Amino acid sequence: RSVCRPQRTMSPQSFLHVAFLLITLALIAPSLQHPENTHSQFPCYLYYKLLYQKRGDVPDPYAMQIRGTFPFLDNWETPFPVNFQGDGVYTARLHVSLGSTYEFKALRSNQWKLGANDKVTISVCNATLVNTPWFEQKTGVIDKIEGVWSDFFSNNRSIATYLPPVYVENVLSHIDQVLVMHDGQNLFFPDESFGGQPWYAQKTMDELIIGGKAPNVALVGVYNSNKRMEEYTYSRDAEYGGGNGDQYLDFLETTALPRVQQEYPRLSIKLESGDWNRDGLGILGSSLGGLISCYAGWTRSKVYSRIGCMSSSFWWNNQDFRGSIVTQSMPSHPITIYVDSGNAPGQDGDGWEETLTVYKYLDSLPSLKNSVYYYLAEGGEHNEYFWSLRFSVPISNLFPL
C-alpha cells in the first residue's frame, strides 16, 4: 500500500547555514594547498635570510618580497612576503624539494633586484640562505689607497679598488669574490695609464654585473713601480735580469691585501678563521703581469684559485715557465686558469705560439681537466687597448654565475 509522505523542505535558517559552509570551504580550499600544509610534496625547508640596509634610509617593514621558480610562487607570478625582523634583516621559511634547483629574485616595493637571478640548489634540508640584494645603484665606485710601503723594494705605491654596485648601496652586503690585478694604474684612469689608454675595467664590470652576466666582483688594482721587471718575474733572465717575483707576491700577501681588507672590511679577502678566501680570490695581469699571475697561481694556490694570464711573457728566461715551473711541481689546491693572446703580425705576434704551447700542456694534465681556458684574440696586439677589449672574457671564465 502506497503511503503519501509529506515533502521535506529546507528552512531558511538551514539553507543559510549550508551556504555559509560551502562558501567557507571555497575560501579555505586554496590555503589547504599552500606549502605550509603540503609537507608530503615539499619534504624540507629553506630558511631565507635577506639583508638590506641603504645608508641613511629608513627601512620599510613591508617592502620586501621574492618571486621565482619555487613551486608555490607559480613560476615567478606570485610574490612571497619576507618578514621584517629589524636592523635590515628580513626572513622567510620556504618549502623546497631536496635536490631541486630554484631561481629567484628579491623585490623592494615592487622594484626588482638588479643583476642576475639568484640560484640555489637544495643539497640539504633546513639550510639557511643569506641574500644581499640591491635595487638602485648601477655603477661601482673606485677608491684609492695611497702610499703603501714595501720594505723589500723600498718603495711606495697606490692601490685602486673597484667596489661593485651592491657594495655601494647595501651596507650589509659582503663581496666574496675579489680579483687582484697588477699594473693597477692602467685599469681605470686615462691620466694615469700608459699612453693615456686604460682598460676602463670599471665599465666592463658595471656592464657585466648589471646585465646579469657576472657576479659582484671587486677589483684590487695594485700599481707597479720603477722596479716592475724585478717584481713581475720569478727567475733571472740572462738579458733582462729580474727575479724578485716571490718577494713581490710576499708583499701582496703580507702588506697590500691586508691593507685592502682593513680599508674595506666587507671584502672577503680573508675568512674569519684567518685563512685566505681562496675559493673567491683571483689574480690577473697582462704581459709580465700575466707571467707573475700564472706563477702565483701555480705556486701559491693556497691563496688564489682563479688565475688570469693575458698576453703573458712566456718567453721569459728561455720559456722556463713551460720548461720548468709547470713540470717540476703541481698546485697544492685546485685552480681555474685562463690564458690568452692576440695574433697580430709583428715582432712576436703577441707571443701567441708560446701561449698556445703553455695552454696545450696545461690542458693535457688530468688534474686540470675542464679547468683551463684559452682565448685567441684575432688581430690582437700587445697593448692596453686590446686588453681592454677582451677583459670581459677572463671575467666570464674565472667568475661564472
Q: What are the pLDDT digits (tens) for 243-291? A: 999 999 999 999 999 999 999 999 999 998 999 999 999 999 999 999 9
The yes-or-no verdict on residue 29 having pLDDT over 70 is: no
Say how far residue 286 (Cα) sits from the centre of its chain. 21
The pLDDT of residue 4 is 40
| Residue 134 · residue 118 · CB < 8 Å | no
The pLDDT of residue 56 is 81
| C-alpha dihedral sign at 209, 113, 140, 145 | negative
The yes-or-no verdict on residue 347 having pLDDT over 70 is: no
The reported pTM is 0.88
- What's the whole-number mean pLDDT along residues 217-234? 97
The pLDDT of residue 17 is 52
The pLDDT of residue 8 is 45
What strands lie across the sheet with 217-222, from one edge to the other?
141-150, 155-163, 217-222, 177-181, 281-286, 306-310, 336-342, 372-377
> CA–CA separation, 26 vs 382, rounded Å?
72
Output the nine-digit C-alpha cell for 13: 535558517
| C-alpha dihedral sign at 385, 389, 394, 400 | positive
pLDDT tens per residue, range 56-89: 888 788 889 999 999 888 889 999 999 999 999 9
The pLDDT of residue 13 is 52
> CA–CA separation, 81 vs 79, rounded Å?
7
Output the nine-digit C-alpha cell for 223: 700599481
Residue 237, beta-bridge partner list? 241
The pLDDT of residue 11 is 54
The yes-or-no verdict on residue 31 having pLDDT over 80 is: no
